Amino acid sequence: MKYRITHFSRRLRGYLTRSAIRRYLRQRRVEITGLPEFFGSWPVFMVEGTLRLGPSGVFRSLRLRSVFTALADSSLEIGANAYINDGVNICAAERIVVGPFCKIADLVTIYDCGFHQVTPAVGPRKGPVLIGRNVWIGTGAIILPGAVVGDHAVIGAGSVVTGRIEAKSVAVGVPARVIRKFECCDDWVRP
């Protein structure tokens, strides 16, 4: 009898949590195709444009909350099975796409707009950010406007990505440069 009560209470708790997550996302105008999992503090979603989450994503915020912003007339898409850690900050002023199976480490920042002019003659830098499938972005990396990261690439901790990073490569530094290429199947997913 004890097993049945414990099993039932776990299922009820899971159902209530899933319902609360659905309601939380609906209130913030986040579009979902499947329910994500939240561990620790729930992420902050600020949506004036479009923000889409693919199915089975994991958002882990045990120390710092992650913040996802889609400004007016912008699009932010996070693919299926993405894994996002503590303190991640993603802000779309135009368009940001994070592909399926991406792993984003703590304190990563991704912006598609510089927001401020550097000089009176030059406006803020803008450009869509496209991150491919199964990309691993290391702790403290910064992805700037116009960056394109190919499928299966690895961005080293503390790197700053300003341009194109080839698929199946490891890039590190400021600005990030490819230091190594590797081979893998196109359908490979990092464990």
Examine the residue annotation and report whether 116 is marked as an active-site residue of this protein: yes
CA of residue 136 relative to chain centroid, distance: 11
Closest by Cα among 49, 142, 141 to 95: 49
- Catalytic choice (116, 119, 121, 185): 116
User: CB neighbours of 176 closer than 8 A, spacing ≥ 6?
Assistant: 141, 155, 156, 159, 160, 161, 162, 165
Per DSSP, the three-state class of 143 is: strand
Sign of CA dihedral 127, 128, 131, 137: positive
Q: Which residues form the catalytic set?
A: 116
